[in-house]
Amino acid sequence: MKLNTISCLYNLDYLRQIPSNEVDLVVTDPPYNVSQKQDMKFDGRIVTKNFGDWDFGFDPLPVLKELKRVLKPNGQIYVFCGTEQIPLYMNAFRNGKGLPADSNARQRHPHNGQ
């Protein structure tokens, strides 16, 4: 892999080009799957919460598998996700479907950092 370059590829295609045990740190902000097909009513107003097709039905497990492969044994990963997705990522980390069970996966509250 060439250092200090920007690539525009589908994430799985890019990850598959990276050799195993190559990466020290991963910071990722996957789709949240929070879009709604229908407009919502909130406080007397109509709210559209549709961010596009990319925000529906994202399956993070194939990406987690590749991240596990490219991450060095002592590497770190930080995942930004919606509150509803925290259990999905935590279960993937603990069940070995994503990152190793001994990874220091922790849930941090977005407001107080604990």
Quick: pLDDT tens for 18-57.
999 999 998 888 876 677 777 878 888 888 877 777 777 7
Helices (H), the chain: 11-15, 61-70, 86-94
Mean pLDDT highest for which of 16-20, 23-27, 79-83, 98-102? Answer: 16-20
The rounded distance, in Å, linking the Cα atoms of 95 and 89 is 10
Show the CA angle centred on residue 51, arms to residues 47 and 55, nearest 5°.
Answer: 130
pTM over 0.75: no
Given a cut of 90, whether residue 91 has pLDDT beyond it is: no
Among positive and negative, which fits the CA dihedral 111, 75, 92, 102? negative
